[in-house]
Amino acid sequence: MDSMLNEKIKCWQEWITSEKRLSLNTQKSYQRDLFCFLDFLKKYINKPIELDDLEYLDSDSITSWFVSRIKSGVTHRSNARSLSSLKSFLSFLVKNKFIKFSSILRLKGPKFNFDLPRPLSQNQVTRIVEKICQANKGWVTLRNFLIIILMWGYGLRVSEVLNIKKDDLKVSDLLILGKGNKSRIIPISLETLHLLKKLKDLSPEGQISNDFVFLGVRGKKLKAEIVQRLIRNIRSELMLHEKTSPHSFRHTFATNLLDQLVDLRSIQELLGHSSLSTTQKYTKVSQEKLKQIIEKNHPRS
């Protein structure tokens, strides 16, 4: 890879950070996808990549990249995201006149079927909470319990839960910073607020100066991988569906609101979705549930 291309990549990274204001996870994904493609392209054209090579990219090279990834187990959904990453970089190059054009910007992503959200039943949530509370781990048990409550009872993403800071607990309305730095206000109950403050006070000695509420046993900010592993272990013990994950609690929150006839706009606001179409996927879950009820209870079923 030549030095000019390296320089443009660094400029692009600054652009998606400061101007596009993509989340940290999205930035990392975009950068990883781009470098993955450039590694592939180097082998595909059998020479070091230069800036001019990107101007003359065609759909065949992208298709070959997709096929190679699918053979290695990458999903169509991941390929679609990777194409978005590459388009972001090429769009940046065209916008700043580093290259004249790119036919890839007109290329549509691969089609794939959206999986419907899989909410948990009330009984499943109860069993998960009971399993967490059975652990005799002091403040860690309270920590894990509160993580579930915030995801299930307030629809927070696991990353949003782990980003809550101690200073955020001075008021009963939490300011949540979601995807794309989109903020929203979530009112929480006094009981939940009390437990969060209790958790803050129970933090290991010597770690009180840490800004975050949810800490690991070593006193550092808790990582999402720890929560994912916790749910994975509980899923195995309780024999829950293989797709049960921390995000399942957020799905459950949204589905429960829809079942209670809460309007989509309010659900969109609570979930922090930038597009109503993202929220509308939960209506399909509700329709599937209605279909099952009719099939089970219809006089001629």
Residues with catalytic function:
157, 179, 247, 250, 273, 282
Q: Please tell me whether residue 112 adopts helix, strand or coil conformation.
A: coil
Cα–Cα dist 33/85, whole Å: 6
**Residue 120 buriedness (CB in 10 A; 0-12 / 13-18 / 19+):** buried
Cα–Cα dist 94/100, whole Å: 6
- Interhelix angle 139-154/224-238, rounded to 10 degrees, is 90
Closest to 88 measured CA to CA, from 45, 38, 31: 31
Cα–Cα dist 292/288, whole Å: 6
Strand partners, 177: 183
Structure tokens at 56: 């003359």
In this structure, the number of other CB atoms found within 10 A of the CB of residue 277 comes to 9
Cα–Cα dist 274/276, whole Å: 7
Closest to 109 measured CA to CA, from 138, 88, 133, 132: 88
CA distance between the termini of the chain: 65
